[in-house]
Structure 1
């Protein structure tokens, strides 16, 4: 009976040992297959994604990245949300849902507005009544064009819009079936380069980036450098102001932390290999801060970015000891300095107020408009000096408020005296005329 029980137990033990052995071997050798949603094949998103996939495969054979072509940022976000992709490239103006996390900020993408030479388009507002080719609906370029056009007072009724994939849009512009084309893309794109080399089209400046930031904080002022698309006969002929935003590599929050850590490490530690395959990688840098960027970063990416940071005690042990030992002396010194500084600020403000009082006396006794103009200039000169002193903490905010009260009295005095002089001028002329008649 005991033998009948013992043999199954021994067999079960052996099976469990084998299972644990297989799992122990499999874990470090597990292959992760990831899908990366990029964009159209002729764009920088796709080129970067392919380069990144190849570099990752070379250094981490157990990580396989399958790059898929998409219509752009909006579709990429949908793929990630529906788990049709594990990674995606999007433009930084998109609002990403909570289940989506950032991995890295990538290269900048520029607004490219290209118009035919014979279109008479020299600025964005000249697009009114023109035919323009846009990227497919749902793409980042399509959505951003309407942000730009609304800022310049253009709506859909003012334009004849044709949406088309990039190659078709380029063909329409070359054949004169549209007057302009808009696309958001990284610098140096071969298709854009070929389009501009024909001499039939040219880049149009896009200004007012700071104003556009009020509606889309992700946007930033940038420049397409002279000669970017041709050096011998420079295209553009001079540095061209445009608007730009960053490409962002994002992932789903449920992707393994260790996988994202390794991908982030490859992205920065093997950046030279990426640059050799796609020059845009040269503009990828680690973020100085993970705060205030508008994105929530994946824990795996955070682990990489923060790996070299010392603990709080390691970082501040010596300063804390020094501050603790010197705190009483410092506080006492600061208190004495504060008293001295406040007295000095008050004395300086008093001098300005005395100047103003003297000017008010001169204003009230002024006999001509020219005198008042000169006194007004003196008032504004004093005001500028006070602003500089306020900025440099030579006077306090309280003293400044006291000064402004006196200064406003002086300005009011000038207006009053000016009105009196202007009112008396006709009377003086009338008196002179009467004397002349009597003679």
Structure 2
């Protein structure tokens, strides 16, 4: 190389090295600020997002998630398009945008149709001519109700056969309690505290929603579900019998240009640290990994795909066992596996029932004591039971369905405990005065 070109070449090399070093240092120290669009602060999406943000911050200090309250799915998608949010939670039925990408299935949500006791509403068809409180326009609940309305022949948004009244959740609940509407419709996770309070304090009842198989012909993302007996009050119980209803899945989504490594770490947190999320938000226990080839309604983000594929073996390793089984497993083995599966399911249910029996015994104990120290000991036992159940869920000793049936008695026990503590403290104050 000629001397006159040597110095410029060296300078360019040094500048390039400095540039790469600065970029590397910046990337290593960068804090990723993300916004997750949810729904109302009283809703399940907001509560789940807060739990996720807490656990992500705990394990990934360089990822900060801010939870944003919104009016629902439509606004969430708009915020994602405008880059004002990097994550959003929507229902699986929500029409996606071209740039939206799926991250994970979250928890199931079910249709809740609540009618006043004197409204004579016993089925969806009975809504004809009635006043029905809906969630705000643009929300997933609002859009789903009109699809349900058309299926049951109640008309469309242009020509409804009833009086629709879109309202924010709290105003809708108040309208039902005051008799300003005959019914209320909302899609939400089971066991929501606000719904429990509404059913306990208003003269209203849950209404069954059936025909899920025919609904799925045009709306394949719907799922058959139930509201178990006693979900919202075990003493009443509310509902008095298990109700058939329709459900959808909540889905965590992001934009196609979201940072791949960040999305991969968030996906990893959802499943590797699920127990910590469940401890804050119990209904997150129903999260599940997507099955191979499962369609989440829109393409997976590469970061999420990288997490789901992390343990996928090469082709020959992945299919060696099935190929061998084709030659060695017969009808007898298949029958044996089926019987084993039934036996394991029975053990999972029995194990959850044992936990529920312990909770009922603790509820009876707390109702009979007037000792605050004993009540505190009961609180410790309740949290120890929750810890053991979450561990059993993680190692498949109980099923997600059995866990869901456990959550409600546990929450009832905690509410009873707080109420009993207040009574005992008030009695002591009265005696001291």
Do both share a fold (TM > 0.5)? yes
Question: Aligned ranges for residues 13-412 of structure 1 at < 5 Å?
Answer: 16-155=16-155, 156-316=159-319
Equivalent-residue separation in structure 2 for 1:291 and 1:298 (angstroms): 14
Equivalent-residue separation in structure 2 for 1:29 and 1:246 (angstroms): 36
CA shift in 2, pair 1:5/1:276, >3 Å: same
User: Shift of the alpha carbon at 1:209?
Assistant: 0.9
State the partner residue of 2:333.
none
Secondary structure in 1 matching 2:64: strand
Give CA deviations for 1:233-263 in whole Å, capped at 9, x if unaligned.
1100110111100000011111121111111
Equivalent-residue separation in structure 2 for 1:319 and 1:245 (angstroms): 33
CA shift in 2, pair 1:26/1:319, >3 Å: same
Secondary structure in 1 matching 2:218: coil
Equivalent-residue separation in structure 1 for 2:140 and 2:255 (angstroms): 20
Contact 1:115–1:179 (CA under 8 A) maintained in structure 2: yes
Normalization by structure 1: what TM-score? 0.69
Normalization by structure 2: what TM-score? 0.70
State the partner residue of 2:404.
none
The runs of 5 or more residues in structure 2 that have no matched partner are: 328-433
Secondary structure in 1 matching 2:110: strand
Contact 1:290–1:297 (CA under 8 A) maintained in structure 2: no
User: Shift of the alpha carbon at 1:317?
Assistant: 6.0
CA shift in 2, pair 1:205/1:15, >3 Å: same
CA shift in 2, pair 1:318/1:38, >3 Å: closer
Give CA deviations for 1:326-366 in whole Å, capped at 9, x if unaligned.
9xxxxxxxxxxxxxxxxxxxxxxxxxxxxxxxxxxxxxxxx
User: Shift of the alpha carbon at 1:28?
Assistant: 2.2
Secondary structure in 2 matching 1:158: coil
The runs of 5 or more residues in structure 1 that have no matched partner are: 327-439
CA shift in 2, pair 1:197/1:256, >3 Å: same
User: Shift of the alpha carbon at 1:18?
Assistant: 4.0
Equivalent-residue separation in structure 1 for 2:17 and 2:303 (angstroms): 32
Contact 2:92–2:296 (CA under 8 A) maintained in structure 1: no
Secondary structure in 2 matching 1:67: strand
| Of 230-239 and 151-160, the range deviating more from structure 2 | 151-160
User: Shift of the alpha carbon at 1:15?
Assistant: 5.4
Equivalent-residue separation in structure 2 for 1:9 and 1:181 (angstroms): 74
CA shift in 2, pair 1:215/1:278, >3 Å: same
Contact 2:100–2:298 (CA under 8 A) maintained in structure 1: no
Secondary structure in 1 matching 2:160: helix
How big is the alpha-carbon RMSD for the aligned residues of Structure 1 and Structure 2?
2.4
Secondary structure in 2 matching 1:266: helix
Contact 2:134–2:184 (CA under 8 A) maintained in structure 1: yes
Bigger-Rg structure (1/2): 1
Give CA deviations for 1:272-321 in whole Å, capped at 9, x if unaligned.
11111111101001011233443311111111111111111333468879
CA shift in 2, pair 1:82/1:109, >3 Å: same
